[in-house]
């Protein structure tokens, strides 16, 4: 079979050529049908009631839809897709049908939407053989080629990291997207990583190993690793490509490798095996292409050659008026004033209360050899907490921007983006500034991470990622693309977790909901509109104004403090309460850890702070008052299960929450033996050396 492009006119692709089938389980089918005729959706989808949300009924629904399809192409989805997103699928399916000689096929051809692609292809293959056996007597090779090439119509690859292994070889980690990549085993087609000169001539080819990743909540084989012997690295500037096996008679699918934003942020020169190399992002329109620059290491001539290469890169960027082309020159001119290694530490721009604060306090007390600074807004309330340590820098000031040029380490409890001066665009900083400076990026974390599926090296580009528990560390390595970057050092704030005397206080501290707030780093007020009337809001209101809760507090002489999550502090700032014994704290409160220390009982839904509470020995209650919504729209599958692994009872509504509170108050707020045992087994370290271990992990990054 040969590619017929150019030998016949390309078929016109119109929306009438494609049928989009929305497979919706009951009772969602009726709702989906009512929203299917969205004016922004073209073609309008056909809704097929799958009767239940399980594999067997979905398979049956797909087969029924195929029987009823009379268009050239058919796609399946579990949600509404816009016409904009369907247009390239329509175009790609039409072109591929033309290439494979199936333009006039007497049966519909599938296009992939990202929804259970592997299942769709498996069902389609069986259906086609059963329903169109006569046609396939001659068209089977063409259909096989179409189905093999179809997943590669969305072929894309990025490099996410380069690590030096213990044996001196390089481990390249990346992402390689293609359709039908979900499933228990990786796709059968092998993918090769190619290093080529700038004219496209292959200089080195190495096999890749597929790796599991989590993409849009689905486990997919979209990651890859490749081992590259250093002595085989081509010298000079090379570009990277990935190439997949293709059917006989077709050119193998090949794609240029781009630089992920995580790679760009963490890129710096590496020296190994007599070679000096660095992945360098190359802006090219909307694409973020990549070149690997490799030179001989050592000696004055080699150093000058490296400097010349990078200077020429910056000069070209300046001519094109690309952002941050001036960075290395400005750094060179101001370097005489910054001879001592500089660490910039922070959290959010207006907070000093979490692991950033505790790491900084440790550095200022114990490590005078490190020139550390804390970055925080000039006028925020929590600035006073760190002012006494000295070396406090106003966020976005000239001094802050100058220190960003020379910082050896950037350490933050939430995201390095919180430390980017407001005058700079965050994404442009990651893509164009960070690799020119090469600061080490330390993620101090702001709690034990139960949602490691959201952790992605290609997005964050961290050099250290702090974990507390062995299972947490294993989960973080499993699908993130990180490996040696994951350090089990413990949270710096745990150094201050010392039990306090009884206070007859209950702390209620639920976490946030990402579907009820505007996107982080956005100025939209969309979150307030989503929050009003939500199940979350109704529970909070019902709980805080409950007459029964007020009576329980009065009867046992206890008080309750409500700490809204930082991301919902505005929505809950004026929430009413039903008793003078209930106090609403500010979501940006500086004394959050002290509030936790003083609690005799802790109530939460899913906040990771429950690990701090368990570490202290304080009894706690998990209230899963909106569990179905939380699981569907916020959480992803986790290595930690409250029922199986938690440190307190799990309840599911208002009355059972108050029941559990009353039971603990009657028992004198004592934690049961089963939860004592779980806590004893969960934490690797129970000392006050967490900050020290974090510092040691960061210092170990230096060559």
**Which comes out higher in pLDDT, residue 438 or 318?**
438
Whether the pTM exceeds 0.85: the reply is yes
What local confidence, expressed as pLDDT, does residue 633 receive? 84
- Give the DSSP letter string of 304-339: HHHHHHHHHHHHHHHHTT-TTTTHHHHHHHHGGG--
Q: In whole angstroms, give the CA distance from residue 555 to residue 572.
A: 27
What local confidence, expressed as pLDDT, does residue 443 receive? 98
Least confident of 83-97, 403-417, 457-471, 505-519: 83-97
Say if CB 105 and CB 170 are below 8 A apart: no
Q: What's 340-490's CATH class?
A: alpha beta
Q: How far is CA 694 from CA 221, 404, 413, 484, 487, in A?
A: 32, 21, 12, 14, 8
Using one digit for the tens of pLDDT, what is the confidence trace for 216-228? 778 999 999 999 9
SS3 99: helix
Mean pLDDT confidence for 599-619: 96
What local confidence, expressed as pLDDT, does residue 688 receive? 94
What local confidence, expressed as pLDDT, does residue 301 receive? 87
Mean pLDDT confidence for 387-394: 97
Mean pLDDT confidence for 109-126: 93
Q: In whole angstroms, give the CA distance from residue 675 to residue 622.
A: 13
| CA contacts within 13 A on the Cβ side of 551 | 5
Whether residue 9 has pLDDT greater than 90: no
Fold of 499-682: Rossmann fold (3.40.50)
Fold of 155-303: Immunoglobulin-like (2.60.40)
Whether residue 529 has pLDDT greater than 60: no
What local confidence, expressed as pLDDT, does residue 115 receive? 84
Whether residue 274 has pLDDT greater than 50: yes
What local confidence, expressed as pLDDT, does residue 321 receive? 85
Instruction: Classify residue 233 by its DSSP letter.
Output: P
Q: Which residues pair with 243 in a beta bridge?
A: 192, 254
Q: Which of 425, 340, 339, 410 is nearest to 375 (CA)?
A: 410
Structure tokens at 582: 């209930």
Whether residue 609 has pLDDT greater than 90: yes
What local confidence, expressed as pLDDT, does residue 83 receive? 63
pLDDT category, 10, cuts 50, 70, 90?
very low
pLDDT category, 518, cuts 50, 70, 90?
confident
Q: What is the CA radius of gyration of the chain?
A: 28
Whether residue 136 has pLDDT greater than 90: yes
What local confidence, expressed as pLDDT, does residue 119 receive? 92
Q: In whole angstroms, give the CA distance from residue 112 to residue 375.
A: 47
Whether residue 309 has pLDDT greater than 60: yes
Whether residue 14 has pLDDT greater than 80: no
Say if CB 417 and CB 428 are below 8 A apart: no
| Shared fold status for 340-490 and 499-682 | yes
The residues near 542 (Cβ < 8 Å, ≥ 6 apart) are 654
What local confidence, expressed as pLDDT, does residue 252 receive? 94
Structure tokens at 38: 């969205």
SS3 186: coil
Q: How far is CA 610 from CA 476, 485, 627, in A?
A: 19, 25, 17
What local confidence, expressed as pLDDT, does residue 205 receive? 97
Q: In whole angstroms, give the CA distance from residue 191 to residue 202.
A: 15
Whether residue 289 has pLDDT greater than 50: yes
SS3 1: coil
**Which comes out higher in pLDDT, residue 654 or 307?**
654
| Per-domain residue ranges of the chain | 15-153, 155-303, 340-490, 499-682
Mean pLDDT confidence for 262-282: 94
Q: In whole angstroms, give the CA distance from residue 315 to residue 651.
A: 62
- pLDDT > 70 in the chain, percent: 90
What local confidence, expressed as pLDDT, does residue 527 receive? 47
Say if CB 470 and CB 684 are below 8 A apart: yes
What local confidence, expressed as pLDDT, does residue 639 receive? 94
Mean pLDDT confidence for 543-561: 97
SS3 275: strand
Q: In whole angstroms, give the CA distance from residue 386 to residue 373.
A: 10
pLDDT category, 4, cuts 50, 70, 90?
very low
Handedness of CA 582, 587, 593, 596 (dihedral sign): positive
Phi, psi (rounded to 5 degrees) for 145 = -65, -45
| CA contacts within 13 A on the Cβ side of 628 | 2
Using one digit for the tens of pLDDT, what is the confidence trace for 77-115? 877 666 667 778 888 888 999 999 999 999 999 999 888
What local confidence, expressed as pLDDT, does residue 604 receive? 98
């Amino acid at each position: 079979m040969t590619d017929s492009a150019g030998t016949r006119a390309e078929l016109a692709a119109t929306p009438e050529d494609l049928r989009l089938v929305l497979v919706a389980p009951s009772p969602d089918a009726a709702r989906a049908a009512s929203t299917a005729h969205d004016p922004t959706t073209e073609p309008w989808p056909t809704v097929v009631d799958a009767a239940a949300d399980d594999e067997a009924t979905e398979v049956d629904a797909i087969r029924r839809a195929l029987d009823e399809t009379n268009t050239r192409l058919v796609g399946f989805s579990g949600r509404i897709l816009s016409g904009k997103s369907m247009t390239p699928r329509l175009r790609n399916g039409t072109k591929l049908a033309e290439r494979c000689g199936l333009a006039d096929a007497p049966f519909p051809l599938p296009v992939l939407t990202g929804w259970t692609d592997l299942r769709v292809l498996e069902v389609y293959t069986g259906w086609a053989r059963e329903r169109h056996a006569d046609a396939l007597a001659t068209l089977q090779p063409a259909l096989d080629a179409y189905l093999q090439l179809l997943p590669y119509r969305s072929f894309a690859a990025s490099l996410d990291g380069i690590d030096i292994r213990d044996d001196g070889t390089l481990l390249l980690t990346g992402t390689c997207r293609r359709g039908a990549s979900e499933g228990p085993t990786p796709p059968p087609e092998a993918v090769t990583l190619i290093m080529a000169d700038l004219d496209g001539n292959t200089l080195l080819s190495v096999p890749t190993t597929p790796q599991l990743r989590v993409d849009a909540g689905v486990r997919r084989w979209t990651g890859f690793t490749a081992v590259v012997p250093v002595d085989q690295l081509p010298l000079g500037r090379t570009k990277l490509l990935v190439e997949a096996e293709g059917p006989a008679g077709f050119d193998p699918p090949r794609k240029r490798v781009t630089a992920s934003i995580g790679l760009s942020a963490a890129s710096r020169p590496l020296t190994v095996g007599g070679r000096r190399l660095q992945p360098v992002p190359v802006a090219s329109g909307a694409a973020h292409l990549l070149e690997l620059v490799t030179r001989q290491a050592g000696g004055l001539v080699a150093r000058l050659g490296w400097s010349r290469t990078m200077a020429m890169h910056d000069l070209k960027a300046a001519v094109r008026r690309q952002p941050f082309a001036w960075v290395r020159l400005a750094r060179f001119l101001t370097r005489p004033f910054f001879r001592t290694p500089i660490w910039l530490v922070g959290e959010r721009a207006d907070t000093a209360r979490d692991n950033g604060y505790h790491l900084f306090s440790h550095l200022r007390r114990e490590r005078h050899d490190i020139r550390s600074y804390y970055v925080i807004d000039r006028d925020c309330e929590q600035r006073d907490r760190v002012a006494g340590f000295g070396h406090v820098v106003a966020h976005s000031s000239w001094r802050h921007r100058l220190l960003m040029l020379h910082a050896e380490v950037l350490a933050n409890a939430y995201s390095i983006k919180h430390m980017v001066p407001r005058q700079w665009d965050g994404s442009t900083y990651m893509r164009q500034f960070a690799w020119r400076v090469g600061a080490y990026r330390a993620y101090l974390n702001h709690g034990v991470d139960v949602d490691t599926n959201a952790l992605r090296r290609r997005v964050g580009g961290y050099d250290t990622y702090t974990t507390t528990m062995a299972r947490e560390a294993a989960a973080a390595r499993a699908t993130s693309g990180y490996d040696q970057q994951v350090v089990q050092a413990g949270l710096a704030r745990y150094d201050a977790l010392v039990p306090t005397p009884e206070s007859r206080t209950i702390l209620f501290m639920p976490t946030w909901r990402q579907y009820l707030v505007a996107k982080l780093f956005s100025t939209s007020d969309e979150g307030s509109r989503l929050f009003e009337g939500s199940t979350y809001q109704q529970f909070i209101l019902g709980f805080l104004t409950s007459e029964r809760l007020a009576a329980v507090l009065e009867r046992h002489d206890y008080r309750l403090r409500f700490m809204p999550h930082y991301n919902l502090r505005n929505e809950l700032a004026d929430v009413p309460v039903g008793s003078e014994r209930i106090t609403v704290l500010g979501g940006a409160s500086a004394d959050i850890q002290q509030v936790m220390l003083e609690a005799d009982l802790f109530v939460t839904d899913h906040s990771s702070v429950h690990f701090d509470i368990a570490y202290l020995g304080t009894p706690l209650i998990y209230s899963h008052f909106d569990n179905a919504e939380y699981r569907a729209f916020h959480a992803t599958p986790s290595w930690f299960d409250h029922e199986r692994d938690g440190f307190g009872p799990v309840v599911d509504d208002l009355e059972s929450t108050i029941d559990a509170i009353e039971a603990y108050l009657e028992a004198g707020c004592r934690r049961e033996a089963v939860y004592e045992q779980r806590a004893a087994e969960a934490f690797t370290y129970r000392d006050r050396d967490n900050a020290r271990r974090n510092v040691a992990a960061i210092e170990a990054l230096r060559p």
